[in-house]
Amino acid sequence: MATVDELKILIKAETKDLKKGLDNVNRSLKKTSKEADKAGQRMKTAFRSAKIGLAATAAAGGLLTKKIAEVGAGFEDLKTSLDVVFGGKAGGAAAFERIIEFAQTTPFQIEDVTRSFISLKASGVEPTQDMMNTFANAASVAIDSLGAFDSMVRLVQKSAAGGLGIEELEQLDQRGIPATKILSDALGKTRLELGTFGQTAQGSAKMVELLIQGLKDLFPDAMDAKMENLSTFR
């Protein structure tokens, strides 16, 4: 039979082993708890990111919808103006068909072409296919194609108002279209003389006529080459 001292030693040993086992269990529990906390935190972060992403997507969708609505409203305004200057819905529709046909063979946007048609017609000038094609051919070699195209439209508008100054010609010169040289050669006049000549309705009309013919001779098929270059982007 074990003595009292032996029993005490045995109990201490068993207690020590039990304490050690409990310590191990506690450490495991703490570790598990920490892992659970980390996992929970990761889930919270993921959900928070998802909420932010959804909010951003919703916001982007809202902005896109707003942008589309703005573009649609702007185009409706252009269509209304087109109807007005071309004498009604039938005239506006016919003009729009011409605009679509023209835009399909040039790098210009339908909105830009529509504005040009409206500007010319409102000034009393019929935007013929021949005129628009000539402007597009010349603009295709310019440094700023759309800027050059708009400048030619404004030049015709100014001439229709009864006066054409050297400033309008210089806008084309600066974009790489030699408008001043074309008219100087055709009329045999200096730069300053052109400015004076264009101040009358008859003189400005003659200048536009000669400029269009000069552009046609100088850039007969320039648009075809430009559209070939753009073909890979269509």
- Give residue 4's pLDDT: 40
pLDDT score of 26: 55
> Token pair for residue 119?
């500007």
Concatenated DSSP letters for 114-183? HHHHHHHHHTT----HHHHHHHHHHHTTSSSHHHHHHHHHHHHHHHHTT---HHHHHHHHTTT--HHHHH
Q: Does residue 234 sit in helix, strand or coil?
A: coil
**The predicted structure's pLDDT at residue 73:** 59
Whole-number Cα distances in Å, 65 to 69, 70, 223: 6, 9, 35
What's residue 13's pLDDT? 47
Tokens representing residue 216 in the block: 């046609």
Average pLDDT across each block of 10 residues of the chain; the chain has 234 residues. List them in order. 43 50 55 51 46 45 45 72 93 94 88 94 92 92 89 91 86 92 95 91 92 92 60 39
**Distances 63 to 56, 76, 77, 107, 147 between C-alpha atoms, Å:** 10, 20, 21, 27, 29
CB 125 within 8 A of CB 156: yes
Cα–chain center distance at 128: 27
